[in-house]
Structure 1
């Protein structure tokens, strides 16, 4: 799987860009993807249409929008763009506006970029690292921040720190994390949820699957719960299992609270 810095070359970084609104912000992220050979111009239109059709669910954390669309012929190779705005703009999100950082993703499929998404989610979840990314003076400094902490102090599985979170379920349960396309924001939420499950010591008992809205309706019968954004929850409607709304996809404490509510622990 590609590493974060492999998918985000320095040529794909734009800092302190001035835009008029969210459409221009996404358009800028799309133009960078075109310039670096990741997509055609058609993909930029697809990213904008994704928001128009599904709402601002891609604003997955305070100040952070993760712009993307489904894999399509407009994607030439998997890649990312990084656009830090000089002045934040409104996307229409109820709790995470205004946005000062737009990261664009073009994915050839649903798997090649999973490791990079997990790394980025961990970086943005750390307040000090997130601030360092916001303060980076140029692409070199930004890349150094992105490369520095990856994998450090991030225990997984049996080595993770256990919390006193009650008794783990004996059977293997499944939780779905859902976004409009299944390749971007749902992976951020999946990573955060898996980190919480690791801390609880429940990773052997609960699996997490990132998926899209259409697939989630068919897979809901396999799950104990669905975690998603407010906009996607409205789109899903009644699916027969609890649908839990997460405001900040990178927030371990928020996901911890929702998991406790799901399992009543």
Structure 2
């Protein structure tokens, strides 16, 4: 699977970009995807339309928007772009506005960029790495942080300690032989749901439950059909409204990179 450095060339990084509003911020990220050959220009309009139709669910952590749309003929290859804004802009998200970082994703399918998304989610959840990304003087310095060469502390933003206090050794759900499924859901199934999936899997690993609970990232349409297979759904507030009643508990997560928030959601699901 592709690493961050494979998907984000230096030419796809712009720092201290001026944007009047969220549409301009997405256009900046989309323009870089087009300039570096990942997409045709039409893909930028698709990313904007995704927010217009589904709301600001792409703002998955405080100050961070993950702009993307479904795989389409406008995507030439899987790639990323990185836009750090000179001044933050409002996307309309109740908890995570204003946004100062917009990462654009063009995905050919749901698989090639999984490892890169996991790596990025871990970096953004680490206070020192997130600070280093925000303070990077130029694209080369930023790529050094993304490559893990500097700025990583191994600490979580919530605890100031390595990891999240979990339930390792707690009784697994339904007994040792049972395997449950939890769905993480976004509008397209290729972007924000992967961030949430990665965070949830980290928490499950700390609990010692990774063998007993599987996590599947999916889109809203597929989630409605797969809900009967799952014990719970974790998603954003906007997507939860779109899903409506699906027969299983739907838990809203505001910060998709927060191990502590996902830990609380898992405790609520299993009443532990």
Q: TM-score, normalised on structure 2?
A: 0.93
Change (3 A) 1:21 1:149: same
Encode CA deviations 1:39-74: one digit per residue, 9 max, x unaligned: 001100000000000000000000000000000000
Cα distance in 2 for residues equivalent to 1:172 and 1:13: 41
Aligned partner of 1:157 in structure 2 is none
Q: Distance in 1 between matches of 2:271 and 2:18?
A: 46
1:178/1:232 contact within 8 Å kept: yes
Query: What residue number does 2:31 align with?
Result: 31
* Post-superposition offset of 1:167: 1.2
Runs of 4+ in 1 over 4 A off after TM superposition: 149-154
Corresponding position of 1:179: 186
In 2: Cα distance, 1:19 partner to 1:25 partner: 5
Q: Is 1:168 the equivalent of 2:175?
A: no
Matches within 5 A, 1:142-221: 142-148=142-148, 163-164=166-167, 166-169=170-173, 170=175, 171-221=178-228
1:104 aligned counterpart, secondary structure: strand
SS in 2 for 1:176: strand
Correspondence 1:88-167 to 2 at 5 A: 88-148=88-148, 163-164=166-167, 166-167=170-171
**Cα distance in 1, alignment partners of residues 264 and 11 from structure 2:** 39
Deviations 1:134-165 (A, max 9, x none): 000001100100001699979xxxxx999436
Contact 1:18 1:87 in 2 (8 A): yes
Q: Is the 8 Å Cα contact of residues 161 and 201 (structure 1) preserved in structure 2?
A: no
SS state of the match for residue 15, structure 1?
strand
Secondary structure, in 3 states, of the residue corresponding to 1:43?
helix
| Contact 2:167–2:206 (8 Å) recurs in 1 | no
Distance in structure 1 (CA, Å) of the matches to 2:217 and 2:201: 11
> TM-score normalised to the size of structure 1?
0.95
Equivalent pair of 1:96/1:247 in contact (CA under 8 Å): yes
RMSD: 1.8
Secondary structure at the counterpart of residue 16 of structure 1: strand
Q: Does 1:240 align with 2:247?
A: yes
Distance in 1, Cα, partners of 2:210 & 2:47: 33
Q: Could you tell me how far apart the structure 2 residues matched to 1:112 and 1:219 are? A: 23
Go from structure 1 to structure 2 and tell me whether the alpha carbon gap of 1:249 and 1:149 turns closer, same or farther (over 3 Å shift): farther
The CA distance in 2 between the partners of 1:69 and 1:252, in whole Å, is: 26
Partner SS state of residue 93, structure 1:
coil
Q: Structure 1 residues 190, 149: CA separation in 2 closer, same or farther (over 3 Å shift)?
A: farther
Structure 2: runs of 5+ lacking an equivalent: 156-162
State the SS of the aligned residue for 1:67.
Answer: strand
Residue matched to 2:260? 253
